[in-house]
Amino acid sequence: MISLRLFHPAHDGPLLRTWVTSHAELMTWAGRSFSWPLDDAQLTAYAAEPGRHTWTAITAAGDPVGHVSLAGTRLGRVLIAPEARGRGLGETLVSLTVSHAFGELKLPELSLGVWAHNTAAIRIYEKLGFRTEQVLKDVEEADGMPWTAHQMRLARPDQ
């Protein structure tokens, strides 16, 4: 089981940077929001953005295994530590974030963008009720390949 605690750039940033080891991984995680190589200054500025909530996912033992953020109603920056992948933690992390967004934060909806080639993430989002509202074909290029994005949305269940 995992839980969310506030992201602390000085403490969590160095570890998070080890989870993003290439330009393509950085693009998959955060689009063009950061420049390669990811550094502590960028993470500090990101965590300080007005209206952005950032969390680190931790195990019961307190070990960091993931990261997620909300900016307004936009869910993003979902990342599971490489050594923790394949254990269902991505679904748990997103589910915890959705519960927090609709519960404590009382948001009316959530939206997100995900690259079409990130099929594991798309499966998680769809399983949790997100639906693709728009497909943006070839909106980005990384390593000489065009990338297509899905824009997805989930309304609060009582809406």
Please tell me whether residue 73 adopts helix, strand or coil conformation. coil
Tokens coding 31: 């689009």
| Spatial CA neighbour of 29 closest among 138, 114, 110, 107 | 114
| More confident: 44 or 144 | 44
CA 125-112-121 angle, to 5 degrees, is 35
Q: Write down the pLDDT at residue 28.
A: 94
User: What's the predicted TM-score (pTM) here?
Assistant: 0.95
pLDDT band at 104 (very low <50, low <70, confident <90, very high): very high
Q: Write down the pLDDT at residue 147.
A: 96
